A and B are shown apart, each in its own frame.
Chain A
Amino acid sequence: MAEFANGVASGIPSASRHRDYQASPATREVPWVRYTLLTIALGFFALFLLMPLFAVFTEALRKGWSVYFAALVEPDALSAMHLTLLAAAIAVPLNLVFGVSAAWAIAKFEFRGKQFLITLIDLPFSVSPVVAGLIYVLIFGAQGWFGSWLSDHDIRIIFAVPGIVLATIFVTFPFIARELIPLMEAQGRDEEEAATVLGASGWQTFWRVTLPNVKWGLLYGVILCNARAMGEFGAVSVVSGHIRGLTNTLPLHVEILYNEYNFAAAFAVASLLALLALITLALKTYVEWRQTAALSPESREQAT
């Protein structure tokens, strides 16, 4: 049937097109340009990305594995781990809900103030994390707007866990929304309209059509959001008060150890964060791969 024609024409994988580009003498670049660019890129990569990573792990293990593990199972380190996980466990699900609803509203509906909302979502990216922390001190701190009311009712937000969670939520807010908005905008409203005409309720449309279409993008956003939630330093540092064993997250714990010239322990804890980054990277690559696989027609069969 002639109907197959257009499916075949659009099915050329982009990778093979790139290869053709280099193979053809008409479009090939002079070798020295290629090698210079490659050298610069790889050199930069090695110097600024690989070397620090390598340094973290060498420094962490300088005094041997026993010191390394001792630094990790020490009570203050454990409590910092616990707090970091707790903050992420609260911030990520909340931002998942906020992010999805914000992205849905922006991508699928027309309303006044839409541009303003988009700018607002980006605010945590454009504002320094220290300022973000200070905002919460200003609102909830002892001298802040609600300070006296909070102390009257014996509620502690600043220099306590709620403050750390709030600061983490603020800083990581844009990750999921930012990931979803362009994706949802590109997909348009057609499929949702089709679902509605077929009799689906708004809720059914969301669960059966909207969400499955963005699931890989959503997961990607969650991974990035989680990485940042666990690694955040600036905003959390301002609101935490650095109380050992109580309000220290992993990044803050690293700083304290380092300031005490306890390098081996500092790097040991830092290596945990580095490990987290590597895991994040691996997950991110996997999700990206699945996402491209889900979008390209020819790999549909393997993907399911």
Chain B
Amino acid sequence: MSIEVRNIRKAFGTFEALNDVSLEFPSGELVALLGPSGCGKTTLLRIIAGLEAADSGTVFLEGEDASGTHVRERQVGFVFQHYALFRHMTVFENIAFGLRVKPRRRRPTEADIQHKVHSLLNLVQLDWLADRYPAQLSGGQRQRIALARALAVEPRVLLLDEPFGALDAKVRKELRQWLRRLHDELHITSIFVTHDQEEALEVADRVVVMNHGRVEQIGTPQAVVEQPATPFVADFINLDDHGPDWLVAARLKHRGHVLQPTDNPLRA
């Protein structure tokens, strides 16, 4: 599903979180919202999900104005920064939650729920954890369960808020490559928020660089690195220390790319 936001403004008191942001997210892409903390990226994500209301501006989901649509009808999957797993439920019940709360007419049978949850657990490669509680899992496992829970309701969009922010460096690297592969399998329109440029450049099809509630640049990872649109982007992508070719090569290498000058990171 395509997402479009038009002229979004949002202020918290005197602090301007989003200042006239307009963006389009084409169907099936994995897009990174990149920027320093406080740049408004999480707020934008929450506005798209409907968890926060914009002061002005419109969110279009599949070309339709979503302003009047309640969060639970927007069919978005949201993965929270701190996972927000239901701590009193087992992993299985966490994933089954979205299916169990459906209105009776649309609720799957118990057998279907069993089947669905186990196939999702297999997808995130954690089937053996079905009976555990969230407190018994490691951070990386929790993150994958949170993702499986979000996917259970077959969302049209997947929104991830700093999905790897709370993990240690090694797990983070593994998990983001895994997310990329998962996206290549599912092709669900996804937006993830991050403050880590390496993460954004490595994983995303397109990167939206934000600062002070404004969009600084939209482009492929390569374009953002090679032709930064503003001094802020150049500084934030941190080109001063290393030559651009080396940086791009190094950063895209993780995705199995051998970089050609004309190579398009969109085609992963």
Contact B76 A3 (CB under 8 A): no
Query: Quick check: is A257 within 8 A (CB to CB) of the other chain?
Result: no
Closest chain-B Cβ to A255's Cβ sits at a distance in Å of 45
Contact B88 A195 (CB under 8 A): no
Q: How far is the CA of A201 from the CA of B153 in the complex (A)?
A: 15
Interface residue from B51, B102, B135, B138 paired with A199 (Cβ < 8 Å) = B102
Contact B86 A3 (CB under 8 A): no
Interface residue from B82, B137, B150 paired with A190 (Cβ < 8 Å) = B82
Query: Quick check: is B133 within 8 A (CB to CB) of the other chain?
Result: yes
Contact A3 B140 (CB under 8 A): yes
Query: Quick check: is A6 within 8 A (CB to CB) of the other chain?
Result: yes
Interface stretch of the complex, out of A21-29, A112-120, A208-216 = A208-216
Q: How far is the CA of A304 from the CA of B131 in the complex (A)?
A: 11
List of A residues within 8 angstroms of B49 by Cβ = 197
Shortest Cβ distance from B87 into A: residue: A213
Contact B88 A297 (CB under 8 A): no
Contact A197 B135 (CB under 8 A): no
Shortest Cβ distance from A214 into B: residue: B88
Interface mask (A244-269 → B, CB under 8 Å = 1, otherwise 0) = 00000000000000000000000000
Q: How far is the CA of A200 from the CA of B87 in the complex (A)?
A: 17
Specify the main secondary structure of chain A where it touches its partner: helix
Contact A198 B153 (CB under 8 A): yes
Query: With A3-B139, A193-B80 in contact, do A198 and B97 touch (Cβ < 8 Å)?
Result: yes
* Residues of B in contact with A, size category: 20 to 34
Query: Quick check: is A4 within 8 A (CB to CB) of the other chain?
Result: yes
List of B residues within 8 angstroms of A185 by Cβ = none
Query: Quick check: is A191 within 8 A (CB to CB) of the other chain?
Result: yes
List of A residues within 8 angstroms of B140 by Cβ = 1, 3
Closest chain-B Cβ to A130's Cβ sits at a distance in Å of 42
Query: With A198-B149, A199-B153, A204-B101 in contact, do A6 and B72 touch (Cβ < 8 Å)?
Result: no
Q: How far is the CA of A155 from the CA of B51 in the complex (A)?
A: 50
Q: How far is the CA of A145 from the CA of B135 in the complex (A)?
A: 56
**Chain A residue total in the interface (Cβ 8 A):** 29
Instruction: Select the residue from A190, A198, A201, A304 with max chain B CB neighbours within 10 A.
Output: A198
Query: Quick check: is A19 within 8 A (CB to CB) of the other chain?
Result: no
Contact B138 A191 (CB under 8 A): no
Interface mask (B16-55 → A, CB under 8 Å = 1, otherwise 0) = 0000000000000000000000000000000001010000
Contact A191 B87 (CB under 8 A): yes
Query: With A2-B170, A5-B168 in contact, do A198 and B138 touch (Cβ < 8 Å)?
Result: no
Q: How far is the CA of A208 from the CA of B87 in the complex (A)?
A: 11
Closest chain-B Cβ to A211's Cβ sits at a distance in Å of 10
Task: Please report which residues of chain B, range 205-225, place their CB below 8 angstroms from some CB of chain A when the two chains form the complex.
Answer: none
Task: Please report which residues of chain A, range 127-185, place their CB below 8 angstroms from some CB of chain B when the two chains form the complex.
Answer: none
Query: Quick check: is B171 within 8 A (CB to CB) of the other chain?
Result: yes
Query: Quick check: is B77 within 8 A (CB to CB) of the other chain?
Result: yes
Query: With A2-B170, A3-B171, A200-B101 in contact, do A213 and B88 touch (Cβ < 8 Å)?
Result: yes
List of B residues within 8 angstroms of A201 by Cβ = 72, 101
Interface mask (B46-74 → A, CB under 8 Å = 1, otherwise 0) = 00010100000000000000000001110
Query: With A2-B171, A193-B80, A209-B86 in contact, do A200 and B97 touch (Cβ < 8 Å)?
Result: yes
Interface mask (A282-304 → B, CB under 8 Å = 1, otherwise 0) = 00000000000010110011001
Chain A interface (Cβ < 8 Å from any Cβ of B): 1-7, 190-191, 193-201, 204, 208-209, 212-213, 294, 296-297, 300-301, 304
- 20 A-B pairs besides A200-B72, A208-B97 with CB distance below 8 A are A1-B138, A2-B171, A3-B138, A3-B140, A5-B138, A191-B86, A193-B80, A194-B80, A195-B101, A196-B51, A196-B72, A197-B72, A197-B76, A197-B150, A198-B153, A199-B102, A296-B135, A297-B133, A297-B135, A297-B136
A and B contact pairs by CB, cutoff 8 A, 17 listed: A1-B140, A2-B170, A6-B139, A190-B82, A193-B84, A194-B85, A195-B101, A197-B72, A197-B77, A199-B98, A200-B98, A200-B101, A204-B101, A213-B86, A213-B87, A297-B136, A300-B133
Chain B interface (Cβ < 8 Å from any Cβ of A): 49, 51, 71-73, 76-78, 80, 82, 84-88, 97-98, 101-102, 133, 135-141, 149-150, 152-153, 168, 170-171
The 4 A-B pairs with the shortest beta carbon distances in the complex, nearest first, are: A3-B138, A297-B135, A190-B84, A198-B98
